[in-house]
C-alpha cells in the first residue's frame, strides 16, 4: 500500500523556449510586412488599371464622336 511513485521530472529550459517564441514572432511579423506590401502593390496596380481604363474610354468617345 505504501508504494512510492517515482515520476520523471521534466526540466524546461526557459531560455530555449523564449528564443523559439521570439523567432516565431519575428517570422510572423515578417510575413505580415510582406502581406501588407503585396496588398498595397496590388491595390495600386488595380487603381492604375482603373485609371487607364477610364482614360481609354474617354479617348475612344472623343475619337468616335469627331
Could you please report the per-residue DSSP string of 2-62? -PPP--PPPP--HHHHHHHHHHHHHHHHHHHHHHHHHHHHHHHHHHHHHHHHHHHHHHHHH
Digit-coded pLDDT (tens) for 11-33? 666 778 888 899 999 999 999 99
Radius of gyration over alpha carbons of the chain, in Å? 30
49 — pLDDT class (breaks 50, 70, 90): confident
What is the share, in percent, of the chain residues with pLDDT greater than 70? 79
pLDDT of residue 10: 61
Alpha-carbon separation of residue 66 from 27, 35, 59 (angstroms): 59, 47, 11
pTM over 0.75: no
Amino acid at each position: 500500500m505504501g508504494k512510492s511513485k517515482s515520476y520523471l521530472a521534466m526540466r524546461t529550459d526557459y531560455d530555449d523556449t523564449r528564443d523559439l517564441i521570439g523567432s516565431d514572432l519575428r517570422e510572423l511579423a515578417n510575413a505580415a510586412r510582406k502581406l501588407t506590401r503585396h496588398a498595397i502593390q496590388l491595390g495600386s496596380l488595380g487603381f492604375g488599371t482603373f485609371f487607364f481604363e477610364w482614360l481609354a474610354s474617354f479617348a475612344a468617345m472623343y475619337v468616335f464622336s469627331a
